Structure 1
Amino acid sequence: MTGAENPQATAGWVDEVLLAGPAGDVCLRLPQPVDRGTLRRLVGEAQERMTGAGLRPGGAVALRLPPSLAYVAHLLATWRVGGQAVLLDHRLTDHEVDRALHRLQPQVVVAPVRSGGGALRVFVDVTAGVSAWSDRPAGSPHAVIQLSSGSTGPSKVIGRTAEDLVAEVRRYTEIDGVARPGERIILLPSMVHVLGLVGGLLYGLHAGVELCPPERLSGDAVLAAVAAQDTPATVLGVPFHIGLLASTVPGGPLPQLTRMTTGGELVPAAVARAFTDRYGVPLGNMYGMTEVGVIGTDLYGRHRPAIAPAPGIRVREQDGELWVSCPANPYVGLADPTRWADGWLHTRDAGVVDPDTGLVTIRGRLDSQVSVGGLKVDLTEVEATVAGLPGVTAAVVVWDDGISAYVQHDGALTEDALDRLLAERLAGFKRPRALHLLKQLPRTTTGKLVRSVPSLREAVS
C-alpha cells in the first residue's frame, strides 16, 4: 500500500517511546539545556506549521536542515502526525536535493531560511521554513527515508518503519557498554545518518541520556563538552573523530570520560592505540548499516577487530559474505535479490563467524579481493599496511587497472619514501602500482573515506 500503515495508530510511538518523562528533565544541551517540556512544546509548534502547509497522515516531509533544535523538533513532529521523514543531508547540492524531491514527492519541505554559527558548528542556530511541495501520499509505508552514504558508488534509497526504529532503540538498551540513564552522549556524527539518529538522538531520548554535541568539531571542543558536566560521558563518533582526539592533548584529567564508541569503517590499529594510550578508556567498536542499524558491537575493545551480534540480530557467513537478518526489504522500489532476499540482507562485506563464540570478524568489502598475476591480493590488507606507516594519516587502496593507493599524509612524507617503506613490508605483487599523495582524502557526509575511483581521481586532479 502507499502511505504509512494506520498512521493515526502508529503516530503515538513518538510520545510513548521518545518524549515521555518529567517535563523538567534535561534531554539536550546545545549548550543551553533543553528539557522535555520545552521539546514537547517545540514539537507541537512544528506540527502545527507542517499540517498548516498541507502535511497529512501518510504523507512525507523532506527535512533539509542542518543538525539543530529545529531539525529535532520537525523530525519528531513529522512522526507525531503519522508522516514519513525524508532525511536530506544539508550538505547536498541543490541538484541532488531536486532529484530526491522529484523522486519521493513529499507533501512538505522544511529548509532553513536563516542559519548561523559557522561551518564547524556541530549544532547550529536555524530558523526553519515550511513550504508545500505536493499533495501525494508517501510512496512507501516507512517512517524514515535515508540516502546511504555512497562511499563506494551511488547512494541507495533506504526505508525503515516505526516498528523497526523502536525495536532498534530498545535493542540499544540491552547492549552492555552504552550510556545509561543519568549519563551523557557527546554526539559527533550527523543525526541525518543512522548512528547519530538512532544511536544518539532516539536512544538518548528513550533512555534518559543527555545528548550533548560539542559546540564545534575540534578536539578541544569535544574535550570541553566532556568536562562541562560531572556526569559520565560517552563520546560517539566515527574513525575520523578518533584520529582528531588522538592528536589532541587534554588540558587536565577527564574523569567524566567513560569511553569512546565508533561506528563506520574499521579503525586502523595504530589510531586505536594512539587513542587508548592518550585517554586510558575503552575504545568501543560498533558495526552497522543504514538498512538495519546496529548489527554488532565490542564496546569494551576486548575482541577487536571482532564484534558480537547485537541482541535479536542474526549474522551468518555465506560464501565468504556476511548476511544479516532483515525481515522486510529495506530498499524503496523493486527488491534486488543480490542485496536482499528471503529475510536476509547481503552486506557485501567479507567476513567470518566463529562457530564456537558467534563473534563476527569483518574482513572488508567483497570487492577488495583482486587477482594480480594469478595471485590473490586482499586490498584491505594492503590498505591497513599503508595506513600504518609513519607520516600517513589516512589511506584508501583500490583497483584501478592495478593496485592504486591514495594517501593522506602529514606533510613530510614523499612518494619515494612511501615506496621504500612499502617495499620493506609488502611482497612485490601486493605493492601499489600507483601512489597518490594528497593533503586531504575525500570523505562522505558521514566521515567515511570515499572509495569511488572516479571521485579519487578527481581529488588528485
Structure 2
Amino acid sequence: MMKGDLLIPSMLERAERFFPKKEVVSRTSSGIHRFTYKEIGKRTRKLADRLQQFGIQRGQKVGTLAWNHHRHLELYFAVPGIGAVVHTINIRLSPEHIIYIINHAEDEILFVDEDVFPLVEAVYDKLKTVKAVVVMTDNELPESKIESVFSYEEWIRDGSESFEFVKDIDETEPAGMCFTSATTGNPKGVVYTHRSTVLHSMSLSLADSAALSESDSVMAVVPMFHVNAWGIPYASTWMGSTQVMPGPRFTPDLLAGMIEKEQVTVTAGVPTIWLALLKELEENDYRTDSLRAVICGGSAAPAGMIQAFEEKYNVPFLHAYGMTETSPLATVSRLKSYQLDLPQEEKLAVRAKQGLLIPGLEMKVAGSGGEVAWNDEEMGELLLRGPWIADSYYKDDRTDETFIDGWLHTGDVCTVDEEGVIKIVDRTKDLIKSGGEWISSVDLENALMAHENVFEASVVSVPDPEWQERPVACVVLKDADKNTSKEEVLDFIRPTFAKWWLPDDVIFMEEIPKTSVGKFLKRALRDQVQEYYKQTK
C-alpha cells in the first residue's frame, strides 16, 4: 500500500477543490459574513504566508483567544499548514490560568478577538514569550500600551493567496494544543497531532457517529477554544459541510434564529446551552424542522430534556461523551437497529446514556476486582486508548497519575449494559459514599431536572457523622413564583430511587456555579453548601 501522511491542510485543500461554492456563515461583532470555501482557502493561505514571514517556525505555538468565526477557522488550518501548533485558549479562565497557559505553551504570537483584547492587554507584561498580538476585528484597532499590535485584515493583506502549505510534515508532528479547564491546580496541556486530528475528523463523519456530510449545515455552539469545538470545524471543512459560526456572546434567541434562517441540520453544545434553547423554544415561535441532530456532550444530559427535544420538537438528540484528552469524541448514544421497536420509555433510557464506543478506540471498565461485568450494575473507572487519545500531558509531572500502562484513566465511573452501552455514573471524586454504598449524583440530577419547574439541579455530598456522606440537592427553578417546595421536589423523584439515595435536603438557588465550559463546578458548590449550613445553624 502507498504511504501517505494524514495532514490537516489536506482537509482544507479538499474543500477548496470539491466544494468551492459551499459557504461559511460567520457572525462577528459587526454582523453576518459569508465566505465560500474557495475564499476561505485564499484567506487561509495569505495568513499562513504572513505567519512564515513573521518568523513562526515548525513546532512553535500560535495562541488564539477567540469565539467561533471565520478568522478562527482560518487559523485552524493556516497554523498547522506551516508545521506550527495552533493553541486555542479558553477565554473564560481566570487571568492567572491564562497567564500560566500561555507561558507554559510558550506562545510566540496571539490572535485575539476585539472584546477579549482588554484581558490580554491587562496580563501582557506577564507573558514571557509573546512577541506580538493580532486583533481579529472589523473595526479600527483599539489604542494600546502594547507595541506590536496588528489588525488581522491588514496583517494578512500582504500574504500570498497562492501560498503552498508545507508538505514535508510527518503526520505524528504536533498540530494543535488545548488545556484542560482545571478545577484544582493548574490546567494540563494536551497536544494533538496531524494524524490524530484527521482520524478524529473521520470518526465524526461515520454514519453511526455524528454522520457529518456535504449535505449538512453545521453549527458548532461549543466554543472553538473548547477541545477545538469538538473537532467539528475540521470535519465539517473536510466533508464540505456548510458551517454556521455563531460568534461572540450569543444568546438563546440568536441561536434559535440562526437555526431557522440558515437551515441548520446539526448543532453541538453542552447541556446548559440546550436547556436555555429549550426554554426559548417554549416561549417563542421558531422553526426547527431542519435539524436532524442536536449533539450534546460535556456532562450528562437530563432525560427530560432529551424527551422534550425528541417528542415536542421532533429533533433527534445525540448524547456523546469525551474529554480534552480524547480529542474529544469517545462515545455516541445511538439505538441499534433492533432497539428501534422498544417502548418509548426504554428507548429514552438508552438515549440518556453516553453510548457506544466509537470505532477505532478500545475501552476497559476497571473495578476493584478487575474488569466489571456488562450488567448495567457493576461500576468501574472508564479506561480508553486509541489513535486520537493522548498518551501524556505537555511538560507536566501529573502525566503518571492519568496515563498508566498505555491506558488513559478518565476518572469517570461508569456501568456497561449487555449491549456495550456506557453510562457515566459520576466522576470518581463526585460519587457519594453513604453507609458504605455508592450514590450517583448524576442520576439524582437527571431525575430532578425532569421536574417541570426545575431548570438546573446539582447534587453534592455533605459530611455525616453516621453515614459518612449524604447527598444534598441544589436546585434552580424555572419560575420561582410557583412556590415549588422541597417536599414536592423530593416526592417527584421518590418513586425512582431507594430511600437511602434520596437527598437529605433541597437548597433553592438563583444560580449554580459552573466551570468555564458550562459544567457544574461542584468544588465551589460544596463550599457554598457548607457556608449555607454554617449560616443557618
- TM-score where L is the length of structure 2: 0.72
Contact 2:461 2:526 in 1 (8 A): no
Report what 2:333 is aligned to.
Answer: 298
Q: 1:157 aligns with which of 165, 180, 189?
A: 189
The 8 Å contact of residues 445 and 457 in structure 2, kept in 1 or not, is answered as yes
Aligned counterparts, 1:25-424, within 5 A: 25-30=21-26, 31-112=32-113, 125=137, 129=149, 142-150=174-182, 155-176=187-208, 177-194=210-227, 196-198=229-231, 200-214=232-246, 217-229=250-262, 233-247=265-279, 248-249=281-282, 251=285, 253-292=287-326, 293-299=328-334, 303-306=350-353, 307-319=355-367, 320-326=380-386, 328-332=390-394, 333-334=396-397, 336-354=399-417, 356-401=418-463, 402=469, 403-412=471-480, 417-419=485-487, 421-422=489-490
Listed one character per residue, the Cα deviations across residues 317-366 of structure 1 (whole Å, up to 9, x for unaligned) are: 11111111146514112363441122211111111234x53322222222
- How has the CA–CA distance of structure 1 residues 29 and 335 changed in structure 2, closer, same or farther, with 3 Å as cutoff? same
Which of structure 1's runs of 4+ aligned residues deviate more than 4 A? 113-116, 124-131, 151-154, 299-302, 413-416, 426-429, 458-461
What is aligned with 2:146? none
Return the offset for 1:207. 0.7
C-alpha contact 1:436 1:460 (8 A) present in aligned 2: no
Any stretches of 5+ residues in structure 1 without a counterpart? 1-8, 117-123, 132-139
Change beyond 3 A, Cα 1:351–1:458: closer
Q: What is the CA distance between 1:410 and its match in structure 2?
A: 2.3
- Residue number in structure 2 paired with 1:120: none
Q: 1:416 to 1:182 in 2, by over 3 A?
A: closer
Q: Does 1:444 align with 2:477?
A: no
Aligned residues of 2:173 and 2:194 also touching (Cα < 8 A):
no
In the superposition, relative to structure 1, how do residues 380 and 258 fare at CA in structure 2: closer, same or farther (>3 Å)? closer
User: In 2 relative to 1, CA 45–179 (structure 1 residues): closer, same or farther, beyond 3 Å?
Assistant: same
Q: CA deviation at 1:185?
A: 0.9
Which moves more between the two structures, 19-28 or 95-104? 19-28
**In the alignment, residue 92 of structure 1 is paired with which amino acid?**
L
Q: Could you report, residue by residue, the CA deviation over 1:78-118 in whole angstroms, capped at 9, with x for unpaired residues?
A: 111111122112233433222222222122222245779xx
Secondary structure of the equivalent of 2:289? coil
Taking a change above 3 Å as real, the CA distance of residues 437 and 155 of structure 1, as seen in their structure-2 partners, is farther
| TM-aligned CA distance change 1:185 to 1:349, over 3 Å | same
- d(CA) in 1 for partners of 2:445, 2:262: 39
- 2:25 is the counterpart of 1:13: no
Q: Render the CA deviation track for 1:287-315: whole Å, top value 9, x for unaligned.
A: 11111121111246773233111111122
* Displacement after TM superposition at 1:228 (Å): 2.2
Displacement of 1:224 in angstroms is 2.5
Contact 1:195 1:263 (C-alpha < 8 Å) held by counterparts: no
Take 1:460 and 1:36, find their aligned partners in 2: how far apart are those partners?
54
SS at match of 1:144: strand
> How far is the alpha carbon of 1:203 from its aligned partner?
0.8
Kept after mapping to 2: 8 A contact 1:180/1:208: yes
Partner of 1:368: helix, strand, or coil? Answer: coil
Q: Looking at CA atoms only, which structure, 1 or 2, has the larger radius of gyration?
A: 2
Instruction: Please identify, of 393-402 and 415-424, the stretch whose mean Cα deviation from structure 2 is larger.
Output: 415-424
What is the deviation of 1:210?
0.9
Aligned equivalents of 1:77, 1:130: Cα separation in 2? 17
How has the CA–CA distance of structure 1 residues 305 and 251 changed in structure 2, closer, same or farther, with 3 Å as cutoff? closer
Distance 1:373 1:362, change over 3 A: closer
- Asked if the contact 2:219–2:243 (Cα under 8 Å) also holds between the matched residues in 1, the reply is yes
Contact 2:59/2:85, CA 8 A, preserved across alignment: yes
In structure 2, do the counterparts of structure 1 residues 130 and 104 end up closer, same or farther at CA, with 3 Å as the change threshold? farther
Contact between 1:14 and 1:79, CA under 8 Å: does it hold in 2? yes
- 289-298 vs 208-217, greater mean Cα deviation: 208-217
1:375 Cα deviation from its structure 2 partner: 4.4
In the alignment, the residues of structure 2 paired with residue 357 and residue 45 of structure 1 have an alpha-carbon distance, to the nearest angstrom, of 50
Q: Report if the CA contact (8 A) 2:222-2:268 is conserved.
A: yes
The farther-off stretch of 305-314 and 161-170 is 305-314
- Code of the aligned partner of 2:474: Y
Range moving further from structure 2, 68-77 or 308-317: 68-77
Distance 2:178 2:530 in 1: 26
**TM-score normalized with structure 1 length:** 0.83
Quick check: 1:64–1:88 contact (8 Å CA) kept in 2? yes
Conserved 8 A contact 1:39-1:73: yes
CA RMSD of aligned residues (A): 3.3
Conservation of the 8 A alpha-carbon contact between 2:302 and 2:445: no
SS in 1 for 2:204: helix
Instruction: Give distance in 2, aligned partners of 1:90 and 1:28.
Output: 23
> Separation in 2 of the partners of 1:97 and 1:202?
25
Note the C-alpha offset of 1:405.
2.7
- Aligned mates of 2:205, 2:36 — CA distance in 1: 21
Quote the Cα distance in structure 1 between the aligned partners of 2:76 and 2:313. 35
Q: Structure 2 counterpart of 1:82, which letter?
A: G
CA deviations on 1:383-406 (whole Å, 9 max, x unpaired) are 334333342211111124343332
Q: Residue 406 of structure 1 contacts residue 437 of structure 1 at CA under 8 Å; is this kept in 2?
A: yes
Change (3 A) 1:254 1:74: closer
Q: What letter corresponds to residue 476 of structure 2 in structure 1? A: Q
Aligned residue for 2:191, secondary structure, equals: strand
Q: Which amino acid aligns with 1:212?
A: V
- How far, CA to CA, are the matches of 2:116 and 2:432 in structure 1? 47
